[in-house]
Structure 1
């Protein structure tokens, strides 16, 4: 997130209207809901974790024990349970 000076990007009328509510403070303006990307979509993390979880569920269905999966994937037993029992 970068810092942008309001007087450089906002029309004067809008800036004056905003100053009725806040002056001399920083304000965060979020992206529109339609412009947001879901978590991990840009970095590829979402795809990585989805694939890993799929492998864990498949191994569990084939008989792998939860504690063995936890060791193999360096995750807690509770995390493995959340992955394999997720509906």
Structure 2
């Protein structure tokens, strides 16, 4: 989630009205239910994690041990097992 200055996108009247409730704080405005994006979709982080997990599964299938993968990817053995046995 990134910070956006309300003055840059909202009408002055609406900013002044909001200032009656909160000033100088972060305000989360939830997405409309049908327009909600899954975690990591906007930043691309979900895709990065999925790519890493595919690489881990391929390395395991090629003979890398769980311990080697944990050390290589700086993850716990438990996390590597969750990735390998997820599906």
Q: Distance in 2 between matches of 1:37 and 1:77?
A: 31
Structure showing greater Rg: 1
3-state SS of paired residue (2:57): helix
What residue is the counterpart of 2:55 in the other structure? 55
Unpaired segments of 5 or more residues in structure 1? 10-23
3-state SS of paired residue (1:43): coil
What residue is the counterpart of 2:44 in the other structure? 44
Task: Give per-residue Cα distances to partners, 1:9-46, cap 9 Å, x unaligned.
Answer: 9xxxxxxxxxxxxxx978x7632221111111111100
What residue is the counterpart of 2:83 in the other structure? 83
Unpaired segments of 5 or more residues in structure 2? 23-27
Aligned-residue Cα RMSD (Å) equals 2.2
Alignment TM-score, normalising by the size of structure 1: 0.67
3-state SS of paired residue (2:31): coil
Alignment TM-score, normalising by the size of structure 2: 0.67
